[in-house]
Amino acid sequence: MFYNLFTLFNLANFFSNSNFIFNNNKYMFNEVSNLHLDFMNRLNMEEIPINSHIQYKKSNISNAVLQNYCFQNNQFRKVRLSYLITDECQMFNSLWYPSYDYDCPILTIDLVNFYQNKSLCFINFINIYDNVEYLNKYENPFLLIKNNYPELSENKSSHLYPFKNFLSKAMLYGHIYDSNKFNTIVPKVVDEYISKYTKQFIKRPVNRYFINDRHKDYNELRYFIENTNYITKKYFDKETYIHLLNSFYSE
């Protein structure tokens, strides 16, 4: 696989960050994290410098450590990777924001492990338009993948209600109570979804401003959810957490 020198230098800096502690046996989502970093390479992504205050946060509550990284290229204005590890749970989150010049959906991946073999997987697309042409192009191809994962086909949960206006038919959602099964299924489906997703940039949008608004609406929802009912919130003081959210969802 060929990487340009800038990409190699960028990723070398990323991996050399002394604070990056998650590539170890204690972190449940190493394989998914490594998949994402591989896609960053394949797509010639550059790391976006972010404030060190939000890149690495440590809390005295349950020994929580939160880390955040952002990447971009010509097609994606931002891809954010977030890692949380505590004495009670672990999380991995990625948010893929396409450039406003593309009508591709936003992709979100949320993984949580509560130890004791209890894990949650939530993968969703935030569609820009809701017409047959758009859904045939972007959503329907993923239904063929989804049908292979009945374990992730739960669609009735109170946790999904706040997202009701942003849920895709290709959404994957489910609890898995076997860590070996989780480690077999989830990295595979993440790989399949991202692989297909990153090949869908075909058509330029009709209305760029509508796309901006759709991104903004989802950011506002995500901000509200993470500020009212989100696992990470309990590990940080209010001022620190609001600062994190403002940094995450300011655009």
| Assigned token pair, 67 | 């880390």
Question: Distance (Å, rounded) from C-alpha 251 to C-alpha 247?
Answer: 9
* pLDDT, position 132: 92
Give the model's pLDDT for residue 160.
Answer: 79
Q: Whole-model pTM?
A: 0.81
User: What is the domain range of residue 86?
Assistant: 5-248
User: Which backbone phi and psi does 173 adopt, to 5 degrees?
Assistant: -150, 130
What are the b/e assignments for 210-243, b being 16+ CB within 10 Å? ebeebbeebbebbbeebeeeebbeebbeeeebeb
pLDDT band at 134 (very low <50, low <70, confident <90, very high): confident
The CATH number for 31's domain is 3.40.1500.20
Share of the chain above pLDDT 70, in %: 84
Give the mean model confidence (pLDDT) for residues 38-46.
93
- Compute the average pLDDT of residues 79-108: 92
Total of domains in the chain: 1
% of residues, the chain, pLDDT over 90: 41
- In sequence order, the 6+-apart residues with CB closer than 8 A to the CB of 227 are 233, 241, 242, 245
Mean pLDDT of 211-220: 85
CA 251 – CA 244 distance, rounded (Å): 13
Q: pLDDT digit string (tens) for 174-194?
A: 999 998 899 899 999 999 999
pLDDT at 158: 72
How does residue 23 score in pLDDT terms, banded at 50, 70 and 90? low
Confidence class for position 242, pLDDT limits 50, 70, 90: confident
